[in-house]
Amino acid sequence: MAAITQPEATNPTADSNGGKTVAQFSLPAVKLQKIPHLSDYIPNLKTLPNPLENNPFFHPSDGFYVSSGDVIFRQIVYDLSGIVPSPNPDHLAYHRAGPRRDVVFEPSEVRAAIVTCGGLCPGLNTVIRELVDGLWELYGVRQIFGVTAGYRGFYSREPLELNPKRVRSWHKRGGTALETSRGGFDLEKIVDAIEDRGFNQVYIIGGDGTMRGAVEICNAIRRRKLNVAVTGIPKTVDNDVGIIDRSFGFQTAVEMAQQAISAAHVEAESAVNGIGLVKLMGRSTGHIALHATLSSRDVDCCLIPEMEFYLEGKGGLFDFLYQRLKENGHAVLVVAEGAGQAMIPRTDAQKEERDESGNLVLLDVGSWLKSELKKWWSRDHPGELFTVKYIDPTYMIRAVPANATDNSYCTLLAHSAIHGVMAGYTGFVSGPINGNYAYIPLEEVARAKNEVNTKDHKWAWIRSVSNQPDFKKR
Ligand SMILES: Nc1ncnc2c1ncn2[C@@H]1O[C@H](COP(=O)(O)OP(=O)(O)OP(=O)(O)O)[C@@H](O)[C@H]1O
Ligand SMILES: O=P(O)(O)OC[C@H]1O[C@](O)(CO)[C@@H](O)[C@@H]1O
Ligand SMILES: [Mg+2]
């Protein structure tokens, strides 16, 4: 239990020259997040030396294996002055991901299943490929299966046999070669299928909904006391899964979004009073819109679900855009698909409309904004030229192969997951925390949400590059 205490209370703002730089400060005690293990409910689980020992390509050296004492801290930024209270009262630590000295699965007895659920995301095929390759090449597993068409595929489709030859070029393809779907989550049928088919390692790739389903599968497997390890690999182009630094495919999506913003910019500056409007994915979080705005620098205003805005009146969107048109002759507006939903009129039927997974179907904020902009201009500036060019690259930013950074990220995620499962961990997710790969309890990831914090420095940065209003009525 690390409790670090600085002995002397001094002026917290003093510089370091005198050596007395910080007020008395003590870190909270470390709370290590336990990862469930098959031995929690399977007595006398046999262990064997890691097969990597005999892998001719690895030659495990000193420090190669990760021990249970290796941890990653969640929070690495502290205010030693004590002026700003810590946002996380617990000093959380997670087990470091990586190969363990002992494993609980004999490779010849492993029957691994891989499934992809929910919407697409760049890198899905890379994760699948690297799971197959990692299991086969690192650990010598030969029975690897793809469950097709999402959760429903467990009980309604024949699994697909996978091997390195079959998946060789999958990382170059967008989408998921296993196919995906929403809905179809029938817990008992899924767990029956896992049992009947003899799967003992289940790799579940998907977003927040998928992770909640994976928690239920894990709990049911534990109730039945099955020797089956389950791991979740978080997939979300929206980057809305919490705790991990970012989700795979997110950077690729942000990069793709640049093309749409550039096109909107060209269209806008080539027109008289031109507005370029781009709608980007982001059902309940605006990370893609935020990062695409920050990296493009062509955007005058970025609207996200985490921030309310209004159209009319002083300090509203129209007021701001009018100023921009007067100053620059054009403006570029980026809107996340989940922004402004409460302002768009909905019929009773639309209020109820859900997709197969139960997610509310969003209305098209881009089309609505375009029509409101046109109404405003013709009402307030009749006879003056005005153009809105609306670009909706929705599926283009996620239906592409992963870029180089995301591809290597996917490889590390897949290999981390395999090492954890082979060691007997279950009900966990692998992912980077502050740049280091960790094992995080699945339940915690299923609960955590990563929203844009409109009070932090990154949002202030958006406001400073765009000079957009804060939309606070005064
Ligand atoms: N609370 C839940 N419990 C069990 N299963 C769930 C739950 N929520 C969603 N699922 C199942 O998980 C799968 C994927 O869910 P969903 O369509 O919401 O996508 P997701 O995983 O959230 O990914 P994304 O939203 O990023 O596309 C579906 O098969 C759905 O039925
Ligand atoms: O049209 P689909 O496939 O249901 O997916 C759309 C949704 O999926 C997401 O990309 C999340 O994966 C959201 O941004 C979007 O609302
Ligand atoms: Mg989701």
- Quick: pLDDT tens for 96-132: 999 999 999 999 999 999 999 999 999 999 999 999 9
Q: List, chain by chain if needed, residues with CB within 6 Å of any ligand 1 atom.
A: 117-119, 150-151, 182-185, 206-210, 212-213, 216, 236, 357, 359
Residue 152 CA: which ligand is closest?
1
**Helix H or strand E segment including 52:** none
Residue 472 pLDDT: 85
Residue 59 pLDDT: 77
Of 133, 196, 238, 392, the catalytic one is 238
Residue of 238, 240, 392 with the most ligand 2 atoms within 8 Å of its CB, for mutation: 238
- Quick: pLDDT tens for 337-394: 999 999 999 999 998 999 999 999 999 999 999 999 999 999 999 999 999 999 999 9
* φ and ψ of 277, to 5 deg: -120, 125
Q: How far apart are CA 201 and CA 160, in angstroms?
A: 15
Q: List helix spans (H) across 355-452.
A: 365-380, 404-422, 442-447
99 Cβ closer than 6 Å to some ligand 2 atom: no
DSSP conformation class of 425: B
Closest-CA residue, ligand 2 atom 16, reads 283
Closest-CA residue, ligand 1 atom 12, reads 210
Distance 237 CA to ligand 3 centre (A): 10
For the chain, the domains span 102-245+401-447, 250-399
Q: What is the separation, in whole angstroms, between the first and last Cα of the chain? A: 48
Closest-CA residue, ligand 2 atom 8, reads 119
Q: Which atom of ligand 1 is found nearest the CA of 359? A: 18
Res. 84 pLDDT band, cuts 50 70 90: low
Closest-CA residue, ligand 2 atom 3, reads 119
Residue 211 CA: which ligand is closest?
1
Res. 10 pLDDT band, cuts 50 70 90: very low
| Topology classification of domain 250-399 | Rossmann fold (3.40.50)
What is the average pLDDT score of the chain?
92
Q: Do 102-245+401-447 and 250-399 have matching folds?
A: yes
Sheet containing 330-336: order of strands: 301-303, 330-336, 274-280, 387-391
Res. 23 pLDDT band, cuts 50 70 90: low
Which residues participate in the annotated binding site for substrate?
236-238, 281-283, 337, 395-398
Burial environment of residue 77 by CB neighbours within 10 A (0 to 12, 13 to 18, 19 or more)? exposed
Residue of 115, 116, 117 with the most ligand 1 atoms within 8 Å of its CB, for mutation: 117
- Quick: pLDDT tens for 438-469: 999 999 999 999 999 999 888 899 999 888 99
Residue 83 contacts residue 444 (beta carbons within 8 Å): no
Q: How far apart are CA 445 and CA 234, in angstroms?
A: 9
Q: Which of 200, 45, 39 is nearest to 110 (CA)?
A: 200
Q: How far apart are CA 206 and CA 121, in angstroms?
A: 9
Closest-CA residue, ligand 2 atom 4, reads 119
Is the pLDDT score of 4 beyond 80? Answer: no
Residue 63 pLDDT: 86
Distance 291 CA to ligand 3 centre (A): 20
* φ and ψ of 445, to 5 deg: -70, -40
Closest-CA residue, ligand 2 atom 1, reads 119
Residue 61 pLDDT: 84
Q: Which residues make up the environment of ion ligand 3, defined by Cβ < 5 Å?
A: 207-209
Residue 395 CA: which ligand is closest?
2
DSSP letters, 287-302, are HHHHHHHHHH---SEE
Q: Which atom of ligand 1 is found nearest the CA of 152? A: 29
Residue 6 pLDDT: 38
Res. 86 pLDDT band, cuts 50 70 90: low
Residue of 120, 281, 341, 392 with the most ligand 2 atoms within 8 Å of its CB, for mutation: 281
Instruction: Say whether 238 is catalytic.
Output: yes
What interhelical angle do 404-422 and 124-133 show, nearest 10? 40
DSSP letters, 204-226, are EEE-HHHHHHHHHHHHHHHHTT-
Residues of the chain above pLDDT 70, percent: 92
User: Within 13 Å and on the Cβ side, how many CA atoms surround 401?
Assistant: 11
Token readout for 66 is 């990760």
Distance 425 CA to ligand 2 centre (A): 31
Distance 208 CA to ligand 1 centre (A): 6
238 Cβ closer than 6 Å to some ligand 2 atom: yes
CATH number of 102-245+401-447, picked from 3.40.50.920, 3.40.80.10, 3.40.50.450, 3.30.70.260? 3.40.50.450
